[in-house]
Structure 1
Amino acid sequence: MNVAIVDDMATECEILRSLLKQYEANHQQTIEIKTFHSGSELLEGYILGRYDVVFMDIFLNSENGVDCALKLRQLDEDLNLIFLTTSSEFGVKSYDVRAADYIIKPATLEKLSRALQYCKITESQNMLTITVTTKHQQLEIDLSRILYADYQNRSACIHLKDCVIPVCGTFLELSKQLTAYPQFMSCFKGIVVNLNEVRELSNDHLILKKGEQLPVSRRLQRHVQRQRLSLSAGSLRGNAYE
């Protein structure tokens, strides 16, 4: 589970981090935690699906946590939001952004556990992911969100359904990570495609479900077609690859 804490008080961030680590130990669930001291810091360069849960303080130093949460909700419809507040009278504000719950400070393990129970994170936890490093941070990306990966402007890039992410490291390293799964295959030099996202295959190119065209080398065309047929027939598909 990937979690972000947004609170301008370093001590409050540390309290919540400690509680999350206790929750992690009790539930035998890995939790990656990143802290931010303002909403604008979190929103800058935000990538859809980066976090499963965001804990947002309502009273930030020079910002309104609810306003920040509204902007965040516009970027990520499926995000689980949990507000941190000093008074229950502000709990009603959580409904404006469809927050999962709110925690009245001081946070406790009981309050934290209750709030996380309201979050819908089971499905995302079952998805297969790869971990890559960008210029600013490590990202865990669901395989189902990836259309293809390629090499451009001297950088390996992952093309998601909603954005393009340049990643550190070589394209060969990225390619090996992806082609370890049967739905990913090289179709041209410097391109690895998610075959589950392919709508049509012709002699020299393939068309993705979103309409984008990618080249296919003659040498690899038969292999790509055979792999597509295997996937559609279900011989390589299992719950792990859905």
Structure 2
Amino acid sequence: MKIALVDDERIYLDEMQKLCLEFAAQHTIQPEIFRFSSSEDFLKSWQPGFYSIIFLDIFMKNGNGIETAQKLREGNDNSLLVFLTSSSDFMPDAFSCHAFDYILKPITRSRVFQVLLDAQKLLPGNSRYIEVNSNRQNIPVFLSDIQSAATDAHYLDIHLKDGNLVRTRMTASEFLKLTGEDCRFLVINKGLILNMDYIFNMENNSCIMTDGSRFPLRIRKAKELALTFRQYQFSQLRQEQKNKGWNT
């Protein structure tokens, strides 16, 4: 997750960076934070779509946050915009720029966390990761890279999209707890977990993956599993449409 912080007061840049890092640590997100003390500095290095979320101060000595936001939208930048402001008087102007949200100063931990949590639901989940111990080393594994996870005695084999295998001493329930009950991961059989982003279809009590591999569904729950998969597909489609509509 690439986060831009644009504010001419260092105290707020420091506080926002601290809270963003704290949130990321709690939600297993790997953030990249970029700080700018003026709109001018920000626009010099700005590229459309580079940032996932932009926290933009409205009142700055050198540059108006709303004018900066308008330039972003004119440049077809679909990043989530969150305004930082000491007054809510300018909110109508702010939301005319299709702002995602705003945070009133003084900044509070609970407010920043809530905005980040809401933003996380809209953003692609490719920044979240877990750490597992494999061959006596702690290895970060991005959730978006995991195709499947299968238990083998006291071990769990985590298959990645690039074909690599990460083997760790872990149960299926421990894995699900690590992922934070991420809705992408579906238990289709005893000790067998699939990432629904890599499921192509479910038919004849089997799950067909996008790479052509097949896994057996738990027969008694085949219909329930197929329904869960269809609901996930529908929710993803709605989210994509919502994201497109938000930025038009």
What is the TM-score normalised by the length of structure 2?
Answer: 0.49
User: Quick check: 1:87 aligned with 2:87?
Assistant: yes
Counterpart of 1:62 in structure 2 is: 62
The share of aligned pairs that are identical, in percent, is 31
What one-letter code is carried by the residue in structure 2 that aligns with 1:33? I
What one-letter code is carried by the residue in structure 2 that aligns with 1:44? K
Write the distance in 2 (CA, Å) between the matches of 1:63 and 1:38: 7
Write the distance in 1 (CA, Å) between the matches of 2:46 and 2:58: 19
Counterpart of 1:48 in structure 2 is: 48
Counterpart of 1:27 in structure 2 is: 27
What one-letter code is carried by the residue in structure 1 that aligns with 2:49? G
CA contact 1:3–1:53 (8 Å) conserved in 2: yes
Counterpart of 2:12 in structure 1 is: 12
What SS class does the counterpart of residue 30 from structure 2 fall into?
coil
Counterpart of 1:138 in structure 2 is: none
Cα distance change of structure 1 residues 80 and 123 upon mapping to structure 2, 3 Å threshold = closer
CA contact 2:52–2:123 (8 Å) conserved in 1: no
What SS class does the counterpart of residue 4 from structure 2 fall into?
strand
What one-letter code is carried by the residue in structure 2 that aligns with 1:24? A
Counterpart of 1:197 in structure 2 is: none
Flag structure 1 segments of 5+ consecutive residues without an equivalent.
128-179, 183-233, 238-242
1:151-170 to structure 2, matched below 5 A, reads none
CA contact 1:23–1:109 (8 Å) conserved in 2: no
How far 1:22 sits from its partner (Å)? Answer: 1.5
| Count of residue pairs brought into register by the alignment | 138
CA contact 2:83–2:94 (8 Å) conserved in 1: yes
What SS class does the counterpart of residue 29 from structure 2 fall into?
coil
Q: Which whole-Å deviations, capped at 9, do the CAs of 1:146-173 have from their partners, x for residues lacking one?
A: xxxxxxxxxxxxxxxxxxxxxxxxxxxx
Write the distance in 1 (CA, Å) between the matches of 2:45 and 2:32: 19
How far 1:108 sits from its partner (Å)? Answer: 1.3
How far 1:38 sits from its partner (Å)? Answer: 1.1
User: Quick check: 1:75 aligned with 2:75?
Assistant: yes
What SS class does the counterpart of residue 113 from structure 2 fall into?
helix
1:1-242 to structure 2, matched below 5 A, reads 1-119=1-119, 122-126=122-126, 235=211
Cα distance change of structure 1 residues 123 and 17 upon mapping to structure 2, 3 Å threshold = closer
How far 1:64 sits from its partner (Å)? Answer: 0.9
What one-letter code is carried by the residue in structure 2 that aligns with 1:64? N
What SS class does the counterpart of residue 102 from structure 2 fall into?
strand
How far 1:46 sits from its partner (Å)? Answer: 1.9
Write the distance in 1 (CA, Å) between the matches of 2:3 and 2:74: 18
How far 1:117 sits from its partner (Å)? Answer: 3.4
Q: Which whole-Å deviations, capped at 9, do the CAs of 1:21-66 have from their partners, x for residues lacking one?
A: 1111221212211100111211114222211000000001121110
Flag structure 2 segments of 5+ consecutive residues without an equivalent.
128-160, 164-209, 214-248
Write the distance in 1 (CA, Å) between the matches of 2:107 and 2:123: 26
What SS class does the counterpart of residue 84 from structure 2 fall into?
strand
Write the distance in 2 (CA, Å) between the matches of 1:110 and 1:58: 21
How far 1:235 sits from its partner (Å)? Answer: 4.4
What SS class does the counterpart of residue 67 from structure 2 fall into?
helix
Counterpart of 2:181 in structure 1 is: none
Write the distance in 2 (CA, Å) between the matches of 1:118 and 1:76: 22
CA contact 2:4–2:34 (8 Å) conserved in 1: yes
Write the distance in 2 (CA, Å) between the matches of 1:11 and 1:44: 23
Write the distance in 1 (CA, Å) between the matches of 2:126 and 2:31: 14
Cα distance change of structure 1 residues 181 and 28 upon mapping to structure 2, 3 Å threshold = closer
Counterpart of 1:185 in structure 2 is: none
Write the distance in 1 (CA, Å) between the matches of 2:126 and 2:82: 22
RMSD between aligned residues: 3.0
